[in-house]
Amino acid sequence: MQQITLGIIGGGTVGGGVFQAIQRNGDLMASRLGVRFKIAKVAVRNVEKLRSVRIPKPLLTTSWESIVHDPGINVVLELIGGTTTARSIVLRALEVGKPVVTANKALLSAHGEELFAMAQQYGSNLYYEASVGGGIPVIKVLREGLIGNRITRIYGIVNGTCNYILTRMKLEGAEFREVLADAQRLGYAEAEPSLDIDGHDASHKIGILASLAHGFWVKPKQIHVEGISSISRLDIQFAAQLGYSIKLLGIVKKLENTARGRGSVTKSCAAVQVSVYPVLVPNSHVMASVNHVFNAIYVRGDVVGDTLYYGRGAGQDATASAVLSDLADAALDLKCGSKSRIPPFVPHECEGMVLDIDEVVSRYYVRLTVVDKPGTLAKIAAILGQSKIGISSVIQPEGHEGESVPLILMIHDAPNANMTKALARISRLAVVKAEPKMIRVESFE
């Protein structure tokens, strides 16, 4: 039986999980693939450190270079995270012609275009199933399972920390800061949680999916990102009364074609919305029932229709499962002498057609804190009317005593630019006592 020799760079949660999974199911994979894996070296910062997964000391090294340049190692696994040393590792490995498996969504988001170009230049390959959705095989779905489809929609709950916080806020009626502190205590949120709660982790992942679905590299700066730290207990409660749950969604929408040309050549290009922000999701939709640390990715193809992929989006075992999937692909490619059966990003749409957030059309939930006196709603409605924005419903809850009361508006479809300008004017009204809160409403049409 053919043997593939592996070098693992990183012995932490993910690296240790992969080492453990290969020990556990290596024979199973060998029987299915006709290829056996042998781990030659594991690079770590400190060989004396106690680890949750025991790695035999003779396998450990502090030199990642010794793995990359070892002619006996066939596949390099980059499992350290970050975008500096990890970038150097991946570039060096690809340059010497070795396939690389990575779980590093931040690296791909920041440098993916460069890395895939390097892989193509040197005839190597980069595998990245574990970069999005943990154990959910969504990369393989988009690259292979739905290869005969034009992808028109992707909606992703792709950050377990945010989903955990929003779920508990809904179930317990708790405030954001209270649940965040508990999530940090339980290990679901980092001590410095901004990467998660500000939406950046989700933007890394949704950018990779958008690039894969539409064939041109979506740069991080093109993605509109909002987090969940401004979501209050009141917003969760009012959303529930209206029949919605609030979720942080990564959204990729293919919109109508737009003509773009250079000189005498004109191409038909699809404008694509790529965004991350909190959304009111109808409770009747399946995405509203994705709770706690679970992830779900909803994909619509023009042939297949709607599909849903659900599971654990992070954690040692879920990530290790995705890495094993990539190892299987890398092993089969080496066994069959194929550098890349399906290229990772084939340009089939125009470069750079990411829609600016100001042009995105949506429905909206708006919560205002206003003076409870006659004429207040009329002043607000006048500004919205002047901006050609229609109100679909108004709720002024009873039981809120005092001069300032919440006023909830549900708004018809309107461009984002119109809404932000109108709300800026509304915030300057004397009867409005706090910054307006706007959350988009998604219908999944």
Q: Going from the N-terminus, what domains does the chain have, and what CATH number goes with each?
A: 2-127 (3.40.50.720), 139-313 (3.30.360.10), 359-441 (3.30.70.260)
Q: Is 433 a catalytic residue?
A: no
Whether 89 and 115 have beta carbons less than 8 Å apart is answered as no
pLDDT > 80? residue 105:
yes
The residue-averaged pLDDT of 145-172 equals 96
What integer pLDDT is reported at residue 350 of this predicted model?
Answer: 59
CA distance 7 to 105: 20
The residue-averaged pLDDT of 288-298 equals 97
Instruction: Give how far Cα 324 sits from Cα of 77, 169, 397, Å.
Output: 11, 35, 53
CA distance 261 to 248: 36
- For 398-429, what is each residue's pLDDT tens digit? 755 557 899 999 999 999 999 999 999 999 99
Give the confidence band of 263 by pLDDT, cuts at 50, 70, 90: very low
177 φ/ψ angles, rounded to the nearest 5 degrees: -65, -35
Nearest of 164, 101, 108 to residue 328 by alpha carbon? 101
The residue-averaged pLDDT of 230-238 equals 96
- What string of DSSP letters covers 89-132? HHHHHHHTT--EEE--HHHHHHHHHHHHHHHHHHT--EE-GGGS
What integer pLDDT is reported at residue 255 of this predicted model?
Answer: 84
What integer pLDDT is reported at residue 261 of this predicted model?
Answer: 44
- For 240-259, what is each residue's pLDDT tens digit? 999 999 999 999 999 865 54
Instruction: Give how far Cα 151 sits from Cα of 159, 185, 224, Å.
Output: 22, 39, 20
Which among 41, 98, 170, 205 is annotated as catalytic? 205
- For 12-68, what is each residue's pLDDT tens digit? 999 999 999 999 999 999 999 999 999 999 999 999 999 999 999 999 999 999 999
The residue-averaged pLDDT of 91-116 equals 96
CB atoms within 10 A of CB 144: 12
String of b and e for 157-190 (b: at least 16 CB within 10 Å)?
bbbbbbbbbbbbbbeeebebeebbebbeeeebbe
What integer pLDDT is reported at residue 257 of this predicted model?
Answer: 57
Give the confidence band of 3 by pLDDT, cuts at 50, 70, 90: very high
CB atoms within 10 A of CB 267: 14
Identify the top-confidence range among 231-240, 251-260, 369-378: 231-240
Give the confidence band of 269 by pLDDT, cuts at 50, 70, 90: low
Give the confidence band of 343 by pLDDT, cuts at 50, 70, 90: confident
What is the chain's alpha carbon radius of gyration, rounded to the nearest angstrom?
24
Whether 392 and 412 have beta carbons less than 8 Å apart is answered as yes
Give the confidence band of 179 by pLDDT, cuts at 50, 70, 90: very high
The residue-averaged pLDDT of 162-170 equals 97
What integer pLDDT is reported at residue 264 of this predicted model?
Answer: 38
